[in-house]
Structure formats: structure tokens, C-alpha cells
Amino acid sequence: MNTRVTSTGTPPANVLLEVSHLTKHYPVRKGVFSQVSGQVHAVDDVSFWIAEGETLGLVGESGCGKSTTGKTILKLIDPTAGTIDWRGHRIDQLSGTGMRPYRRELQAVFQDPYSSLNPRMRAADIVAEPIRNFESAAVGEIDERVASLFEKVGLRPDQMVKYPYEFSGGQRQRLGIARALAPRPKLIVCDEPVSALDVSVQAQVINLLMDLQDELGLSYLFVAHDLAVVEHISHRVAVMYLGKIVELTDKRSLFTNPQHPYTEALLSAVPVPDPKIQRKQVILLGDVPSPINPPPGCRFHTRCPYAEERCRVEEPAMKQVRPGHFVACHLRDGSAAAPRAKTV
């Protein structure tokens, strides 16, 4: 039985990915000798897990560290600190060869498929390439798998000979999804996969990802800057602000009972379909501070309408406010008055 307890709860037995205290700082260099003059605190002490067949949404404003989190999981960049466990094996320290058995299982779909798909390769070769790289499959088998992947993602057989520029934005993203599926992954990091698409096409791509999850038992880390985009696809949602996760819970709790003032602010921008449901409107003050010198105490205090003295000096720890609902806010630990709604 699994009895480990992390800062975001006890992972279930079918946990695939576990990220603990993940930190990534980028050096800031200045002058002709490129001396290091500071650090960008892109990701700071981030912990979460993803189970088999589950989608964790990761949301926050641009620059809060979502892509950096995704890239460290994919091992495209090394973390500064923290651990990444993949099916019980630590992968954060692994090099190219050590990572080889796991590389196939972790795939990615990016925001701009045009820049991540080789423009000089035909669509069928783009999808076949990862199969050739990871497996020693016969040519006939590769052709069959590519054809079935085209069908799975809703592309036509005649599109197999086309080049990426001949596809529309939504079709190109379908091609990116087919390529990610080709090596039969267990988890796909979807980094803003629909952010560049028209709203009607966004829904089609999200529905495709959900159908594929049902059919193949996939897990997703689904990154978006907009809460409305993750609402449909996520089982749980983590909200990130300036390098930190400030709230993590199941989708329903997050949308109906948000606990962090930053989540309330993000939700204020999401339209509510039922006019009987009233949402607290929280207007953010000021701009996002620099991640080179993040504010002391709670990183959100400079923009928080409820900030108190304690928030300016003491960093809030992640606490469980209800089973499975975690929040890092001093106003939610019972020792301070509950925040008052600021209605506009």
C-alpha cells in the first residue's frame, strides 16, 4: 500500500509521475565577461503528481514557469533542485542513455506545431520518425501504424504526402498529436496546445485529446494560461504564480470553491454559463513582479487585495484545507480572518 504523503497529498497506487520540490533558476548574465548578476526564479519548490489516465491542468499567467516545469519533466532542461520520479524511478539525474527506456513514454505537444514540425518532411515521415527512432519495426508495420494514427487524429490518408505548410492550424496540431502518439507514450505534456487556435478549433482539439485519453489510457499535463481552456479536459488543476503552485485541487472544487485570491482573480475572467451562479470578482492590482527578485513572503502579496503584514514577510506553506484541496495562503490557515469579498 502506498503510504507516502507529499505536500499535495498521498499519491495513489497508479501514480505515473511525481515531481517533488522542483526548482529551476536561470542565471542572468551581464557585461562583456557575462558575469552572473542574478537568477531568474522560473520554478521554485513545485510538487505534484499525475496518475495513470489522469489530466492535471497547469494554469497561470505568461512567464509564471509552466513551460519550464514541462521542459524539466521532458528532460529537455535539467532542474536546479528537486526530484522527478517516473513510475517509481528517479529520472531527474539520468543522462541520454539512462533516460532511453523512459524517453518514449514521455512525449510532448507544443503550442506552435509549425515550429516543432520539420517543414521539409512529409506528414507521414514526421509521424513515422519517432517509431523508427524508438523501435526496430518492419517497414510494413510502420506504414500501418502511421495510417492508423492518421485515422485516430482525424486526418485523411491523402494528407500523408503533404508538408506541414499545407495544413491548417488545427490540422497541424492533429499532426503534432499523431507524432506524439507514435511511440505509444504514457504521458503527454501538452504545452498550450490550443492557445494559437481559433476558439471553435480549440474545442475540437481538446475533444480529440479527451477521446484519445479514453481510448489509450493516456495521462496529460495540460498547460494553459487561461482557466477556461483547462476546465473541460482536466481532472485536477494546479494554479501557478511566479514560479510556485498556489492552489491544487480537483476541477470541481477549484471552479466552485476557489481558496486562493489569485485563483479567484483568474476565475473572474472566466464566463459563468449559469446566471444563477455568482462568482466573487477579484481585480488584480499592479503588474506581475520580476522573477529575478520575487517579492518576499507570499509572492502574490504585492497584488493581493487581502494582503496583511504577515503575507509580506512569511512565505505561506501548502496546506490541505479539505481532503484533496491544497492552498498556499496565510488567510486560509484558520489563524487569520477569512478574506472579505471585494465585489465590483
Q: Is 26 in the site for ligand ADP (CB under 6 A)?
A: yes
**Cell numbers given for 177:** 498529436
The answer to whether 209 and 152 have CB atoms below 8 angstroms apart is no
Cβ nearer to ligand ADP, comparing 1 with 36: 36
Q: Which three-class secondary structure state does DSSP give residue 301?
A: helix
CB of 63 to ligand ADP, least distance (A): 4
CB of 66 to Mg ion, least distance (A): 5
Residue 261's closest CA among 216, 210, 319, 305?
305
DSSP-derived letter for residue 243 is T
In the list 17, 40, 180, 181, the residue contacting ligand ADP (rule: CB under 6 A) is 40
Q: Is 154 in the site for ligand ADP (CB under 6 A)?
A: no
Rounded to an integer, what distance in angstroms lies between the CA atom of residue 231 and that of residue 243? 22
Cβ nearer to Mg ion, comparing 127 with 245: 245
Pairing mode of beta strands 187-191, 106-109:
parallel
Please identify, among the stretches 15-23, 53-61, 63-71, 242-250, the one whose residues bind Mg ion according to the rule CB under 5 A: 63-71
Cβ nearer to ligand ADP, comparing 17 with 42: 42
| Cβ neighbours of residue 90 closer than 8 Å, sequence gap 6 or more | 83, 84
**Cell numbers given for 344:** 465590483
Residue type, 4: R
Per partner kind, with CB cut-offs from 5 to 8 A, the member of ligand ADP, Mg ion, none near residue 64 is: ligand ADP
| Burial of 81 per CB tally in 10 Å (0-12, 13-18, 19+) | middle
CB of 65 to ligand ADP, least distance (A): 4
Please identify, among the stretches 67-75, 228-236, 240-248, 334-342, the one whose residues bind Mg ion according to the rule CB under 5 A: 67-75
- Site size for ligand ADP (CB under 6 A): 12
Cβ nearer to ligand ADP, comparing 35 with 62: 62
Cβ nearer to ligand ADP, comparing 57 with 291: 291
Query: Can you tell me which residue has the cell 508538408?
Result: 163
**Cell numbers given for 109:** 505537444
In the list 68, 171, 259, 302, the residue contacting ligand ADP (rule: CB under 6 A) is 68
Please identify, among the stretches 66-74, 83-91, 146-154, 303-311, the one whose residues bind ligand ADP according to the rule CB under 6 A: 66-74
Q: Is 67 in the site for Mg ion (CB under 5 A)?
A: yes
Query: Can you tell me which residue has the cell 480549440?
Result: 202
Site for ligand ADP in 276-295 (CB under 6 A): 291
CB-hemisphere CA count at 13 Å for 80?
15
Q: Is 38 in the site for ligand ADP (CB under 6 A)?
A: no
In the list 6, 51, 52, 63, the residue contacting ligand ADP (rule: CB under 6 A) is 63
Q: Which three-class secondary structure state does DSSP give residue 164?
A: helix
Cβ nearer to ligand ADP, comparing 242 with 331: 242
CB of 189 to Mg ion, least distance (A): 11
Query: Can you tell me which residue has the cell 482539439?
Result: 205
Ramachandran region, residue 60 (left: φ > 0; alpha: ψ -120 to 50; beta: rest): left
Residue ranges binding ligand ADP (CB under 6 A): 26, 40, 42, 60, 62-68, 291
